[in-house]
Structure 1
Amino acid sequence: MNHTSLSAAEYDAITDAAAQWCLRLQAEDCTAAERRAFEQWLSANPLHLQEYQAMLEIWQTADHLPRSVPDNVVPLPQRQRNHWQRFATAAAIALVALPAGAWVGWEQGWLPNSYQHLESNGQLSRVVLGDGSEVELNLNTELRFSNYKDERRVTLIKGEAFFKVSHDSQHPFVVHAANGWTRVTGTQFNVWKYDDQVKVTLVEGSVLVSSDGQASDSSYRLGPGMQASYKAGDYEPRLSQTYNQDNSLAWRSGKLILDNQSLAQALPMINRYLDKPLLLADASTGSIRISGIYNTSEIKRLVSALPKVLPVYLTRNKNGNMVLNRISPPAKG
C-alpha cells in the first residue's frame, strides 16, 4: 500500500488503530492472541509501525492523559500538528480506560501545547523551539521538547545541545539529563551527555543544577563561566570554574579539542561520536595523554590514527569494540 495515496479518512483510521493498540498492549488482561493480531497489523503496512512508534513517543511526554483539549491551548504550527492530533486521539481513546481523577490536563500542568522531537545525525543543526528559544544540536544528538503551562521541559536523550533560552520568569526552562536537571528562566548554556555522564557549562545568566532529580533545595547555582558535572546516582554535582582556554563549546565550530588530557578523560568525548565505544585495555593505557584539534565529523579517522601518534595499538574484542592497548616501554637494563 502506498500511503501517499491514502485519503485523510484512511490515514486517520490508521492513527486511531495505533492509539487503540498502544492502549490495549499496556492492559494487564491483553491476551497472547491479541498480541499476535497486533504483530500481524504491524507487519501489514510500514505506516502502521510509523504511527505506532509516534504514538508511543507522544505518550512519553505526559504521565496522565486529559479528557479533552482545553479551550485555551495555543494552536500549533503546521509542522507540529500531526503529533498533537495523535496525542488528542490517544487521549480520547484512553478515557474509557483511565479511572476518574487519573487525568489532569493543561490547567494542571500535565498536557503540553507544543511538542517537538529533534534529532541530528550527520550534521550540526539549529532549531527554534515552540517557546521561541533556540537550540543548537551537536552530531548524534536527540532530545524532546514539551511546553507545559508551568514549565518548558527538555529531555536530552543523548548527545549535546547549546540553549539560548527566551526569558520568562514565570515559565522556567528545565533540561532533564540522566537523573538530574538544569533549571533556568532565560540564559545561554550547554549540556553534554554521554551514557550516564552529564556536564553543564554556563555562558550567560545563571542556572540551577541538580544531579539526583530532587527539589530545588538540593540544587546548586552556577554563574557565568562555571561548569557542573555529574553522573547518574551522584548525590550532588561537581562544580568547577572554566577559563579562557576551555574547549567545551568547540563543537559548535565542528571541532573536538583535546588539551593534554588522559585517554581515560578523553574517551567519553570521543566515544559520543562513534557507533561503538572505543575501550581501554587497562588503567595504564588510560593514563596516556593526548592533545590535538580534530573534526567532529571525522572522529572515526582519529581512532585509526591513534597508534601513529601514541604508544598504543588497536585490537578488537568479541563484541566488535576497538580496544586501545599500551605498548610497554622497553625494560631498563
Structure 2
Amino acid sequence: MSARRREAAHWFARLLELPDEHPERQLFANWLAADPRNAQEFHSFKRLWGDFSSTDQTRALAGAMENVGRRRLLRNGMLGGLLLGGLGSLLLVRNAARQELQLFTGIGQLRRMKLADGSEVQMDADTRIQVLFDERVRHLTLLRGRAIFDVRHNPQRPFVVDAGAAQVRVLGTRFVVERFDRRVQVSVARGRVEMAGGGQRIELTADQVGLYGESRGLVRSDRKAAGAFGFSTGSLVFEQADLGEVAAGLSRYRDKPLRLELPPSQQTITAVVQISDVEAFVQALPQLAGIRVQERADSTLVLPR
C-alpha cells in the first residue's frame, strides 16, 4: 500500500464530513495540486466509493470491479476483483504481504470477518470500511458506521483506523470505532489505544471511551465502553446520547433513515433498544423526546413538537 493511497483514503473519509467553507478544504486542494498522481488516486477512490446507497448499486459496482480489476491486476501478477462472502466484501489485491479489501454491510445487516493478519472486524449495519495492509502497517478507513476491531498483536505492524476527523493507532486490543457526521467515538474493551484528532492525542485503556468533535475537541467520556459493543448481541445502547446519535444508530436498521429537522438541543436519551424493536422505539420517540415524526417517501423526519 502506497503512502499516496493512504492519503487519498484519508482525504475521502475526511471530506465526507467537512462543511463546504471549512478551511481544511484548502489543504486538500493544495494536496491535489502538488502532484497529478494525487488527483488520480483520489478520483479513483471516489469513483469506487461514490455511492453504496443501495444493495443493487453495491452489486453492480462489485461486479464491475470484479471484471475490470481482474484484467488489470492479473497483468501485474496479482489476483484482483474477487467477491468474498456474497456482497459483503470486495477483494482488490491480496498476496503474501498485501491485502486491499472493501467491506460493507447493508441496512439491518451485521457481518463478522477475519482479516489476513488474524485480526477480526465485526461490522454494524450500514457500515463501510477500506482495508489496506502492507509490510509496515495495517491501515483501515472507516468511511461510515460502526465496527468492533479485535486486533492481533504485532508491534512491527501497527493497526491504524482512520475515521476522518479522528484516528486510532493500536498494537493489539479490542475496541469499537463509531463515525457520525461530525464526531467520532472510540470505546476500548481491553488493551490500549492512542486516539488523535484536531491536533490532540489521548491514550485510552480498558473500559474507557474517547470522543472527538469539532466543537469540543478530543475528550474522555464517562460513558461505559461496553455499550458500544451491544449491537453484536442484538441491542443498541444509547447512554446520554443526543438525538443525532440516536437517529444515526436507529437508521442503520431502517430502510428510511431518520432525518433531524431540529434546532441544536442539550437533550439526551439513555435507553437500550433491541434491534428487533427499532420500529416500536421510533414510534415511542415523540413521547420520550418531546418531538414529532413525519413520514416521507425516502425518510422519516424528526421535527419540533
- Output the TM-score relative to the length of structure 1: 0.58
Change (3 A) 1:249 1:49: closer
User: For the Cα contact (< 8 Å) 1:255–1:293, is it kept in 2?
Assistant: yes
Tell me the residue number matched to 1:174.
160
The gaps in structure 1 that reach 5 residues or longer are 1-22, 28-46, 59-64, 89-105, 327-333
Tell me the residue number matched to 1:115.
100
Q: CA deviation at 1:208?
A: 1.0
- Cα deviation, 1:43-95, whole Å, max 9, x if unaligned, reads xxxx996554458999xxxxxx9x956xxx9x99x877x977x669xxxxxxx
- Cα deviation, 1:232-267, whole Å, max 9, x if unaligned, reads x579522234448x5222222111233565545634
User: For the Cα contact (< 8 Å) 2:155–2:171, is it kept in 1?
Assistant: yes
Where does 1:108-257 land on structure 2 (aligned, <5 Å)? 113-121=98-106, 122-212=108-198, 218-231=200-213, 236-243=217-224, 247-257=227-237
Change (3 A) 1:112 1:146: farther
In structure 2, C-alpha distance between the alignment counterparts of 1:183 and 1:55, rounded to whole Å: 35
SS in 1 for 2:135: coil
Question: Aligned pair count?
Answer: 240
Higher relative contact order (CA 8 A, sep 6+): 2
Change (3 A) 1:202 1:56: farther
Where does 1:27-66 land on structure 2 (aligned, <5 Å)? 50-53=62-65
In structure 2, C-alpha distance between the alignment counterparts of 1:79 and 1:269, rounded to whole Å: 28
In structure 2, C-alpha distance between the alignment counterparts of 1:208 and 1:193, rounded to whole Å: 17
SS in 2 for 1:123: coil
Structure number with higher strand proportion: 2
Tell me the residue number matched to 2:259.
278
Identity %: 25
User: For the Cα contact (< 8 Å) 2:119–2:151, is it kept in 1?
Assistant: yes
User: For the Cα contact (< 8 Å) 2:66–2:83, is it kept in 1?
Assistant: no
Larger radius of gyration: 1
Change (3 A) 1:281 1:57: farther
In structure 2, C-alpha distance between the alignment counterparts of 1:138 and 1:325, rounded to whole Å: 29
- Output the TM-score relative to the length of structure 2: 0.63
2:279 counterpart of 1:294: no
Deviates more, 1:190-199 or 1:49-58: 49-58
Deviates more, 1:122-131 or 1:183-192: 122-131
In structure 1, C-alpha distance between the alignment counterparts of 2:261 and 2:196, rounded to whole Å: 30
SS in 1 for 2:237: strand
User: For the Cα contact (< 8 Å) 1:174–1:183, is it kept in 2?
Assistant: yes
Task: Tell me how large the CA RMSD over aligned residues is.
Answer: 4.1
Where does 1:45-124 land on structure 2 (aligned, <5 Å)? 50-53=62-65, 113-121=98-106, 122-124=108-110
The aligned amino acid for 1:225 is: D
